[in-house]
Amino acid sequence: MSDLIIKTNKLTKKFGSKRVVNHVDLQVKRGEIYGFLGPNGAGKTTTIRMLLGLARPTKGSIQIFGEDIKKDKISILKKVGSLVEYPSYYGHLTAYENLEAVRILLDAPKSRIDEVLSIVRLTKDAKRPVKGFSLGMKQRLGIATALLGNPELLILDEPTNGLDPSGIIEIRELIKSMPKEHGITIVVSSHLLSEIDQMATQVGIISKVIFQDSISKLRERASSKIKITVNEGESAWKMLLSHGITSDLAQQSIYLENGSDEKVAKVVKSLVDNEYSIYRVEEEKKSLEEIFLELTGKEGGL
């Protein structure tokens, strides 16, 4: 089997005349934590609903495990666990009964309930009605439900939304441990870049365009500049130019694009030789946030 777990082709969804998802080509590889990133309203949930067969694409196709969701929905869903938007639960049932109601449908062994309860650390609260649970506990129960069928692919839509910081950390650690300990591929969506940055190995940014690559490639796009602050910026800049070194001048500081170590050393040496006082040599990175904003456009609604 190919190593692409999810592959969509020009996936498009319209509500009325409004294009909510437009020509999205997702490619998720086995064993990755794929961060599905986009501002609110970008169409993440809609895309995920289509992946799960809850909504039909207006155009385009979806292949999961190499099978078409239109034709082999049930056989695909057997290997998928999911949590869409806010957590789903039956409030009048206990956590255990919630899992049991799903387990019966999955034909999973009863022992699996205790296993997933312990993975999300809800064993102690298993006998309590879920309506009394905190949001974080409901979210964890949702993940437990998603894990019941021993899925190969886990799709989690904004799993940390609305949680307090400790809840966020807990869910994040849980997600990060999953591929290592259970060999699961994970798609996790979020509107927060920092979230994705901390969990994902691959990233897909959905908005007008789609950027899709490994997180480290995204970081590389955060190209660095060397900023040198000296006593007389403008004259130093001219001196460097006369020595054949191009640089930028802004607010009396000198900026070097893509400064290699040798280049920086050379610049510093000529500045010292010409008796300028060097106050600071700093590396300035464009933040991931800035790149995210650049990719998603200003109207991103952040």
Residues in contact with other proteins by the rule CB under 8 A:
49, 52-56, 74-75, 77-78, 80, 82, 84-93, 97, 100-102, 104-107, 142, 145, 149
Nearer to ligand ADP, 41 or 162 (CB): 41
Residue 227: contacted member of other proteins, Mg ion, ligand ADP, none (CB under 5 to 8 Å, by partner type): none
Measured distance CA(105)–CA(214) in Å, rounded = 37
Residue 94 or 296 with smaller CB distance to other proteins: 94
CB 9 within 8 A of CB 61: yes
Query: Closest approach of Cβ 36 to ligand ADP, in Å?
Result: 9
Which of Mg ion, ligand ADP, other proteins, none has residue 149 at its interface (CB below 5 to 8 Å by kind)?
A: other proteins
SS3 category, 287: coil
Contacts of 216 (CB under 8 A, 6+ apart): none
- State yes or no: residue 47 binds Mg ion (CB under 5 A): no
Tokens of 185: 């591929």
Q: Are 72 and 214 in contact (CB under 8 A)?
A: no
Least gap, CB of 42 to Mg ion (angstroms): 8
1-9, 36-44, 205-213, 270-278 -> range binding Mg ion (CB under 5 A): 36-44
Phi, psi of 271 (to 5 degrees): -65, -45
Closer CB to ligand ADP, 38 or 149, in the complex: 38
Under DSSP, is residue 91 helix (H, G, I), strand (E, B) or coil? coil
Note whether 8 binds Mg ion by CB under 5 A. Answer: no
Q: Which residues bind ligand ADP (CB under 6 A)?
A: 15, 20, 38, 40-46
Say which residues have a Cβ less than 8 Å from residue 208's Cβ, sequence separation at least 6: 22, 296, 297
Distances (CA, A) of 126 to 63, 142, 147, 168, 174: 36, 13, 16, 21, 19
Q: 139 touches which of other proteins, ligand ADP, Mg ion, none (CB within 5 to 8 A by kind)?
A: none
**Using rule CB under 5 A, residue 160 touches Mg ion:** no
Using CB under 5 A, list all residues that contact Mg ion: 44-45
